[in-house]
Structure 1
Amino acid sequence: MKRSWRCPMNNTFQQITVVVQGPVQNYQGRTHHEEGITQRCLDSIRTHLPSAKIILSTWPDQDLSDLDYDQLIISQDPGQNHDGFCPVNYQRQILSTQAGLDAVTTPFAIKLRSDNFLEGNQFVAIQQQFAKAELNQQIFSEKVVVNSNLFRRSSHGHRVIMSPSDFFYYGRTTDLKLIWQQPEFNQHDFSQQLIEQAQKVAGTPFVLEAEQTYCQIWLKNIAPNTTPLLKHRFDVNQHDIIVWERFLASNIIIADPQTMGLGLRKISQRKVKRANEYSHIDWLKLYKKYCDNTVTINIDKDQRQLELRRLFKLPLSKLVFKLKNRSPF
C-alpha cells in the first residue's frame, strides 16, 4: 500500500534529536559501504528535519572532515563480543546508541545507523496515526516506528519472532531508551541461559539472526513475563507468535522505507520486497485485528504480489532447508 503521509505544515522538528551512531564512512575490515555515506546521512537530516538536533556518536580516530553535526560523542571502542551469544559488534552498537541517547534532551529521538540516510520525514506523521493499543498490551508510552526492511516475518520458510531491523527507530526518547539503554549482556539474569542455548546450535543454520539476539535481550529485559528465551532461530509456537503480534500491534509501527522517508544503503536495496519481511500492510492487519477494527486496509498490487510470492516461495524454501539441514532438536 503506497500512501503519501505528510507531516503537518505547522509541525517543527525542534522536538527531535537524531542520534547517528556507528563508524564514520568505511574502516579497515568493513569496506562494503559506498564512499561518503555518513556525510550523505547527516546532510539528509539537515534537508528533511531542518530544525532537529544531530548527535554523532562514534569512535576515536574517525575522519570527521566535512561532516555537519551539532554534538559529537566519542566513545572508546569496546571491541568485539566473545560471550558466545551476541553478534561480534553487539556491544559496539549498544554503546554508541546509548551514549547518543544519554545526551538527548528533546522529547522525541531517532536512532539512525551511520550507513543509512533520510529521503523524507513522513515517519513523524506516521508515528501519530495509529495511537490505539490493546488493553494491557502497551509497553511504550507511544508507538515506535521501525522500518520494514530486514524486519523478518519468516526465515527459510519458517515463521520467526523477535527479528526487527536495527536500521531506524523513531519515537519518544523515553521509549527508545527502554530499548537501547540496557546493562551489559552478562549482567542480565538470563544471559547464561541464552549462552548455553546458543552453544547447542553454534555453527549451524539454526543460530539466531543477529536482529533476534538484539531483540531477545531488550524485550526480555522490559517484558520478562511474556518474552520467551529462544533456543534457536525457529523456536516458536503459535502462542509465541500471538504474543509477538500483539506486542507489535500495540507498541510498534512497521513502515516501508519508501513511504516513511528512509533511504537505504545500496546493499540493502531490492527491486521487489523480500518474501520473508513484514510490510506495512502486514503490520496494519495486526493493528486492525488487535487494536482498531475500524481501520480500512487497501491491498495494493505490491502487497498482492508479495502474498502470492509467499504462497509459492515459502513452502519451497522450508522444504529445501529441511532436506539440507537436520534439526538438532
Structure 2
Amino acid sequence: MHRIFGDILLREQTFEQISVVVQGPVQNYQGRTHHEEGITQRCLESIRTHLPGAKIILSTWPDQDLSGLVYDQLVISQDPGTNSVAELPQFPKNYNRQLVSTQAGLAQVTTPYAIKLRSDNFIIGNEFVGIQQNYPKSESEQKVFTEKVVINSNLFRRTSHGRTVLMSPSDFFYFGTTEDLKKIWQQPLIEDQPIAEEMSKAMNSASTTSCTLEAEQFYCQIWLKALNPSTKVMQHRFDYTKKDIIAWERFLASNIIIADPETMGLGLRKISKRKLKRANEFSHIDWLKLYKKYCDCSITIAKDYQQWSLEIRRAFKLPLSNLSSRFKHK
C-alpha cells in the first residue's frame, strides 16, 4: 500500500497525503538573534512550490509577526520559555520549546504522512518522498517504526572530537508516517519527564574531564527510551561500548534513512552551510553502508567523489581532533 502511495506521489506529483508542520519562531526575539530575515516566509513558499497539495501547519508562539506568511492552519502555543528546572541545569535549555511547538503541530495532522520542519529552514525539492520509499527492508527484531523516517545528514553527528558518538541526530527535518513522528516527538516536558532524574544522576556522575552530552543526544535518548525502556542512559558524550555502537548502527539501518540535504530536497539556513561537508557528520553513503550490512546485502553502492573526498579528510582530521581532545580533557 505504502509503496503504491509513494509511486503515485512521484508520478502525479500530488502531495495531499502529507502535512508539513513548520515549527518554531518566525522572527528573532530576545536571546535568539540568528533567525534570517524572511526565512519563514521563504520556508512556507517553498512548500507550496515543491509539495503542491500538502497541508501547511504553522506552529509558533504568541505575538509573532505573521504578516506576509501563507499557511493552511495556524497553531499558537504558550511559549514555555527556556527550561528553568533548577535541579536539572545541565539539560538543553530549549528542550520544552522544541517539544511544545512540534507536538502542537503534529496534533493537528490528519494525513497519513507528515514532515517536521524547523521554521528557519526550507525545501528545494521533494526527492525525500522517493527516498523514504526506496529502502523498505529492516531487521524484524530492530524495527520500531511502521516505515523508515528520513532525517537530514547536516548536523547528524557520526563523530565528535575524532571519536564515535551515538544518538545524535539533527533536529532540522523529519519525514515519515504521522504515527511514527508522534512516537518521536510526543514526549513529556522536562519537568514531567519520567527519566529526567535518571538522566540527571547519570550526567552528574560523569567525570569532570568528560565531554557533556550534545543537546541532540539528550533529545534522542528520551524518545529511544520511550520506545525501548532498556535503552542505556549515557553519562557523557562517549559513554558506550562496542556493543552499544552495533546496537545504534542496527537501529539506524532498520528505522532511519539519513539523507544529504542537497539530494533530498532540503534547503539550509546560511549559518548551517559549509563549502565542504563536515568530517564529523554522517553522509547518505555512510548510512547506505549500514543498510547494506544489516538489512539488504544485495544493494549496490555507487562510487562517489564527494564521499571519497570526505573519507580522505576524515583520515587526516579525525585522529588529530581525537589527540587534541584527549590532551585537553586529561
TM range (shorter): over 0.9
The residue aligned with 1:306 is 310
Q: String of CA shifts for 1:256-291, please: whole Å, max 9, x gaps.
A: 000000000000000011110000000000000000
Q: Is the 8 A contact 2:57 2:75 kept in 1?
A: yes
Q: Is the 8 A contact 2:95 2:190 kept in 1?
A: no
The residue aligned with 1:290 is 294
The residue aligned with 2:57 is 55
TM-score by length of 1: 0.94
The residue aligned with 2:250 is 246
Q: Is the 8 A contact 1:194 1:231 kept in 2?
A: yes
The residue aligned with 2:22 is 20
Q: How far apart, CA to CA, are the structure 1 residues paired with 2:14 and 2:90?
A: 42
Deviation at 1:203, TM superposition (A): 8.0
Q: Is the 8 A contact 1:25 1:115 kept in 2?
A: no
State the AA in 2 paired with 1:315.
P
Q: Is the 8 A contact 2:161 2:321 kept in 1?
A: yes
Does 2:66 match 1:64? yes
Q: String of CA shifts for 1:85-108, please: whole Å, max 9, x gaps.
A: 431111001000000000000000
Q: Is the 8 A contact 1:256 1:279 kept in 2?
A: yes
Task: Identify the range of structure 1 (52-61 vs 10-19) with the bigger mean alpha-carbon deviation.
Answer: 10-19
The residue aligned with 2:158 is 153
Does 2:77 match 1:75? yes
Does 2:187 match 1:182? yes
The residue aligned with 2:3 is none
Does 2:204 match 1:199? yes
Q: How far apart, CA to CA, are the structure 2 residues paired with 1:224 and 1:188?
A: 13
Gaps of 5+ in 2: 1-6
Q: How far apart, CA to CA, are the structure 2 residues paired with 1:179 and 1:250?
A: 15
State the AA in 2 paired with 1:117.
F
State the AA in 2 paired with 1:23.
P
* Gap change, CA 1:130 and 1:64, over 3 Å in 2: same
Counterpart of 1:41 in 2: which secondary structure?
Answer: helix
State the AA in 2 paired with 1:33.
H
Q: How far apart, CA to CA, are the structure 1 residues paired with 2:108 and 2:91?
A: 26
Deviation at 1:228, TM superposition (A): 1.0
Deviation at 1:84, TM superposition (A): 2.7
Deviation at 1:247, TM superposition (A): 0.4
Task: Identify the range of structure 1 (263-272 vs 9-18) with the bigger mean alpha-carbon deviation.
Answer: 9-18
Q: Is the 8 A contact 1:281 1:299 kept in 2?
A: no
Does 2:248 match 1:257? no
The residue aligned with 2:274 is 270
> Residue 93 of structure 2 is aligned with which of 55, 66, 88?
88
Q: String of CA shifts for 1:144-199, please: whole Å, max 9, x gaps.
A: 00000000000001101000000000000000000000122343432212112223
Gaps of 5+ in 1: 1-5
Deviation at 1:38, TM superposition (A): 0.5
State the AA in 2 paired with 1:147.
N
- For the aligned residue pairs, the C-alpha RMSD in angstroms reads 1.5
Q: Which has the higher contact order (CA 8 A, sep 6+)?
A: 1
State the AA in 1 paired with 2:224.
L
* Gap change, CA 1:31 and 1:71, over 3 Å in 2: same
State the AA in 2 paired with 1:129.
N
Q: Is the 8 A contact 2:13 2:52 kept in 1?
A: no
The residue aligned with 1:115 is 120
Q: How far apart, CA to CA, are the structure 1 residues paired with 2:240 and 2:278?
A: 21
Q: How far apart, CA to CA, are the structure 2 residues paired with 1:232 and 1:181?
A: 25
Q: How far apart, CA to CA, are the structure 2 residues paired with 1:168 and 1:128?
A: 17
The number of residue pairs the alignment matches comes to 320
TM-score by length of 2: 0.94
* Gap change, CA 1:266 and 1:201, over 3 Å in 2: farther
Report matched runs for 1:156-171 at 5 Å: 156-171=161-176
Q: How far apart, CA to CA, are the structure 2 residues paired with 1:46 and 1:202?
A: 50
Counterpart of 1:17 in 2: which secondary structure?
Answer: strand
The residue aligned with 1:318 is 322
Q: How far apart, CA to CA, are the structure 1 residues paired with 2:207 and 2:275?
A: 33
Q: Percent identity?
A: 67
Report matched runs for 1:91-102 at 5 Å: 91-102=96-107
Q: How far apart, CA to CA, are the structure 1 residues paired with 2:65 and 2:209?
A: 38
State the AA in 2 paired with 1:104.
V
Q: How far apart, CA to CA, are the structure 1 residues paired with 2:130 and 2:209?
A: 42
Task: Identify the range of structure 1 (196-205 vs 272-281) with the bigger mean alpha-carbon deviation.
Answer: 196-205
